[in-house]
Amino acid sequence: MDEVKVMDEQKRNASLNRPTERNTTQFIVTQLGGEQYGIDIKYISNIIRMSKITRVPKVPDYIKGVINVRGVVIPTLSLRLKMGLPEDEVTKRTRIIILTLEQHESIGVMVDEVKEVVTLDEEHIERIGYEKDEKERFLSGVGKADGKLISLLDITSVLSEIVDV
């Protein structure tokens, strides 16, 4: 019940009267290959278990196909392939994160695992400069939480490239 977890975290923060005035952002931490990636929670509308993906012919290989999320057909892409990592291996931990950037326009991204929600202060986020390699193109920065390093995904740049394709 990952969905519930996200909600609870948000609620708890709200009730603890934490953050908003301080510059904090919440991220969902996902596992992708050996690394952890954070996705800004404001883009996430849903996290679902792996479901049957219908392949669509003649599209780039990182687009895995389309899925049905509560009656809406949503295209799904593999973050691994998009970022140049080896093909996904579907396990029972595999999740599809539904991102919604604009009204009524959603896209699903496959990740190996969804770990937790972290709240990062602006001061714990290190922005990445102009020199980005293939993988770093999609990163907005690196966050530090409990001694771990989390690469923060720049979702808009991941998706904007897809729209152009």
Partner 1 sequence: MDTSQYLDIFLDESKEHLQNLSDQIMELEQNPENMDTINEIFRAAHSLKGMAGTMGYKRMQTLTHDMENVFSEVRNGTFKVQPGMIDILFKSLDALEEYVNNIQQTTEEGTNDNQDLIDALNSILKNNGEVKVGDSASAAPAAPAAEPAAPKAESSTADGSGGKGERWQDIKINDTEKMLIEKAYTEGLKVYGVTVYVEEACVLKAARAFLVFKALEKLGEIIVSSPTAQDIEDEKFELTFSLIFISGNTADEIKDAVKSVSEIEEAFCAEYKMAAAPAKAAETAKVEVKAPEEVKAAVPAPAAAPVAPAKPAASTTKPTASAKPVVNRTVRVDIEKLDNLMNLVSELIIAKNSLISATAAEGKGDNNSVNEQIEYLESVTTNLHESVMKVRMVPIESVVAKFPRMIRDLSKKLGKKMELYMTGEDTELDRTVVDEIGDPLMHMLRNSADHGLEPNDVRIANGKPEVGSIFLDAYQDGNNVVIAVRDDGGGINVEAVRNKAIERGTVTPEQAETMTEKEIIDLLFLPSFSTAKKVSDVSGRGVGLDVVKSKIESLSGEVEVKNHFGEGSSWIIRLPLTLAIIQALMVVVGDEKYAIALGSIQTIEDVLPEDIKLVQAKEVIHIRGTVIPIIRLRNVLDIPSAEENSNKNLTVIIVKKGDKLAGLVVDELIGQQEVVIKSMGKYIKVPKMISGATILGNGEVALILDTNALI
Q: Which of 8, 61, 105, 126 binds partner 1 (CB under 8 A)?
A: 105
List Cβ neighbours of 142 (8 Å cut-off, separation of 6 or more): 125, 126, 128, 149, 150, 151, 152
CB of residue 58 to partner 1, shortest distance in Å: 4
Q: Which of 1, 58, 134, 147 binds partner 1 (CB under 8 A)?
A: 58
Angle (CA) 142-155-82 rounded to 5° is 95
Stretch that binds partner 1, among 18-26, 50-58, 121-129, 140-148 (CB under 8 A): 50-58
Q: Are 96 and 107 in contact (CB under 8 A)?
A: no
Pairing mode, strands 35-40 and 148-153: parallel
Q: Does 72 bind partner 1 (CB under 8 A)?
A: yes
Question: CA Rg, the chain, in Å?
Answer: 16
Q: Which of 68, 93, 126, 149 binds partner 1 (CB under 8 A)?
A: 68
3 state SS of 90: coil
Q: Does 55 bind partner 1 (CB under 8 A)?
A: yes
Q: Does 51 bind partner 1 (CB under 8 A)?
A: yes
CB of residue 45 to partner 1, shortest distance in Å: 13
Distance CA 47, CA 1 (A): 9
Q: Which of 30, 36, 106, 151 binds partner 1 (CB under 8 A)?
A: 106
Residues that bind partner 1 (CB under 8 A): 51-52, 54-59, 63, 65-68, 71-75, 105-107, 159, 162-163, 165
